[in-house]
Structure 1
Amino acid sequence: MVFKNTLLAFAIIGLLVGCGNQSATKTEQNVEQPVASTTDTTASKQQGIIEFEESAFDFGKVKEGAVVEHIFKFKNTGAAPVILSQVSASCGCTTPDFTKEPVLPGKVGEIKVSFNSLGQVGNQQKIVTVSSNAENRVTTIQIKGVVEE
């Protein structure tokens, strides 16, 4: 009889302890999820946003060998500084140079694109890919026109 009572006591204690742990686990999960989603929402509101004045420049017609340059200006319309991490062209004949400093909210940055038309006769469309920490992480601009012999 004592053995049965001891066994019953251990079973009840095990049940109570087991239920207590499940309750604590559920409470921890409920607390953690809202905090994570609040942080994610705040982070998305605290990003920079790149807005170009123009996304394409048409240089018209030029003679082969001419170097065409154009400056693309963009404004950071977001709430955090924008840092351009990489600006690359689709062709070796096109060279980008860009603002290296962080562009603060409300301020303007620049990307200067130079196109060397030597050996590039015909219709041209060169894409420049801009990578940054902005909300729109990767965006493109283009320079296009016709190179005549």
Structure 2
Amino acid sequence: MNIANRNMVRVSFICFVLACLVSCGGTDNRTSEESDSLSVQEQENAGIGKIEFVESAFDFGQVKEGEIVEHVFSFKNTGTAPLILSQVSASCGCTTPSYTQTPVLPGREGEIKVSFDSNGQIGKQQKIVTVVSNAENGVATIQLKGEVLAK
């Protein structure tokens, strides 16, 4: 083979190799894998919130029918990332929760205020409030309990 043919074969081979690398995305895949692993590392380093209640149950004792019982449940974010309460719901329409709407930073406190309307609720009572959040312990419950006496 003469020199011109050899050079043509070399140039063709180099073009073939470059075309394969570009079409297969050789370096792009590696960059994608690296950024995927960085995302996982960033997520692990970001941490997670953890909700811890000062008390998970409140006994209001005895009240007369028609009274409204209110109690504030305090909690602390003992995790390493902001804690966001996404849903706080009661087991019954007679119980109404209101809660901290903003993210609770690590080490900070938030609260859930629960109101119980005892009208028509005579007898022993146990009202469960379910708290859904982005915390490590994603679903937690708190409760009001006591007895409602007839008027």
> Under a length normalisation based on structure 1, what TM-score does the superposition of the two structures give?
0.73
Residue 80 of structure 2 corresponds to 79
Superposed CA deviations along residues 55-82 of structure 1, whole A, max 9, x for unmatched, are 0000000000000000000000011111
Residue 61 of structure 2 corresponds to 60
Which amino acid letter does the alignment assign opposite residue 138 of structure 2? R
Match status 1:127 vs 2:128: yes
Aligned pairs, number = 143
What does residue range 86-101 of structure 1 map to in structure 2 within 5 Å? 86-101=87-102
Distance change (3 Å), C-alpha of 1:99 and 1:37:
closer
Distance in 1 of aligned mates of 2:42 and 2:100? 30
Partner SS for 2:74:
strand
Residue 106 of structure 1 corresponds to 107
Partner SS for 2:136:
coil
Match status 1:115 vs 2:91: no
Partner SS for 1:61:
strand
Distance change (3 Å), C-alpha of 1:117 and 1:54:
same
Superposed CA deviations along residues 57-109 of structure 1, whole A, max 9, x for unmatched, are 00000000000000000000011111110000000000000000110110000
Distance in 1 of aligned mates of 2:93 and 2:75? 24
Distance in 2 of aligned mates of 1:48 and 1:100? 15
Offset at residue 37 of structure 1 (A): 7.1
Distance in 2 of aligned mates of 1:128 and 1:116? 14
Distance change (3 Å), C-alpha of 1:79 and 1:113:
same
> Under a length normalisation based on structure 2, what TM-score does the superposition of the two structures give?
0.72
Runs of 4+ in 1 over 6 A off after TM superposition: 34-37
% identical equivalent positions: 67
Partner SS for 2:135:
coil
Match status 1:148 vs 2:146: no
Distance in 2 of aligned mates of 1:100 and 1:39? 26
Structure 1 unmatched ranges of 5 or more = 1-30
Offset at residue 35 of structure 1 (A): 7.1
Offset at residue 42 of structure 1 (A): 3.9
Partner SS for 1:85:
strand
Offset at residue 40 of structure 1 (A): 6.5
Superposed CA deviations along residues 32-59 of structure 1, whole A, max 9, x for unmatched, are xx8787566545x4x0100000000000
Which amino acid letter does the alignment assign opposite residue 148 of structure 1? L
